[in-house]
Amino acid sequence: MKKLKFICNTLFGLLLMATIFLTSCHEKLEVWDSETLDYSGTYFWQLYDENFTEPIEDYHHDIQLMIYNTSENIQNKVWIEDTNHVFPLKSKFTFTGDSKLFKSETQDFDEIENNEYAIETPTTKPTGIGETITEDRDYIRAIVLEGKILTDAATTISGNPVDSIYIKLKLLSGSVSFKSYELPEALRANPEEREFDWEYTHATYDSTNTADETYILSGHRKTGFVEDDH
C-alpha cells in the first residue's frame, strides 16, 4: 500500500512539473510575441538593378537579409539588416500596407530613419571639445518603394516551397556631420589623460544629387534546413 501511494505521489509530482513547464513555456511565447511576424525572418537574396534584369549579386550563403521588430514592437515597423554588408544597410522602416504588399510610409528624407552603418563616427579622433566634421557618405537613408512577402511563392534549391521576398529599395546619399565631446574618465584608455570622440549630429540630403541608387532584392525565406541553404 505504501509502495502504491509512493508511485501515485511520484506520478502526481511529475504531472505537476509538466504542467508548470508547459505553462511557463506558453507565458514566454506571449512575452516574446512579435507584432511583425509576417515580415520577420532571415532571407537569402539576389541583388538586381532597378530594371530587374541580370543579378548583380547572386545567391550566396553569407548574403542574408534579416527583418525583425523594433524595441517598440509595433505593427509595420521593422529593422532591415544586410548581414554581409552588400550595401551596407541597417535601418528602421515604417510601412503602409501589410507583408503581402508594402512600402515606406513616407519618402520625406527628414522623416525616415538613418542607416546605422552610414553614421558611424570618423576613424580620426578629435583633439578637443567643439570640433566639427562633415563627411560625404553613401546610403545614409533608404526608402522601400515596393515590397512583397508571399507565402510559399518560391522554391528552395532542394525543391521545398518557401515564402518569397521582393523589395525595391531606393538608397539616398548625402553628408553626415559630427561634433566632438570629452570622454568620461571611465571610458578613457588612460583615466589621467583627456580623451575626445565624435558624436553624430545630423545628416544632409540634396534631392538634386545624382548619387541615389535604386536596387531590387529578390529571394526567399531561410528555412533553417541545411538542404535549403545556398
Asked if 170 and 159 count as a contact pair (C-beta separation under 8 A), the reply is no
- CA 113 vs. chain centroid, Å, equals 12
Q: What would the mean pLDDT of 164-178 be, rounded to a whole number? A: 97
Q: Evaluate whether 143 touches 111 at the Cβ level (below 8 Å).
A: no
Query: Does the pLDDT value for residue 2 go beyond 80?
Result: no
- Calculate mean pLDDT across residues 2-31: 41
pLDDT at position 64: 96
Using the predicted structure, report yes or no on whether residue 15 has a pLDDT greater than 80: no
What pLDDT digit, counting tens, does each position of 112-166 carry?
A: 999 999 999 999 999 999 999 999 999 999 999 999 999 999 999 999 999 999 9
pLDDT at 6 over 90: no
- Of 109 and 209, the one with more pLDDT: 109
pLDDT band at 10 (very low <50, low <70, confident <90, very high): very low
Tens of pLDDT, residues 70-86: 999 999 999 999 999 99
CB 117 within 8 A of CB 89: yes
CA distances from 28 to 21, 22, 31, 121, 137 (A): 11, 10, 5, 38, 42
Q: Which sign, positive or negative, has the C-alpha torsion 191, 195, 201, 206? A: negative
Q: Is the predicted pLDDT of residue 94 greater than 50, yes or no?
A: yes
Report cis status (omega within 30 of 0) of the bond before 161.
no
Query: What's the CA gap between 66 and 75, in Å, rounded?
Result: 17
pLDDT in the model for residue 32: 54
**How many whole angstroms separate alpha carbon 221 and alpha carbon 43?**
4
pTM over 0.85, yes/no: no
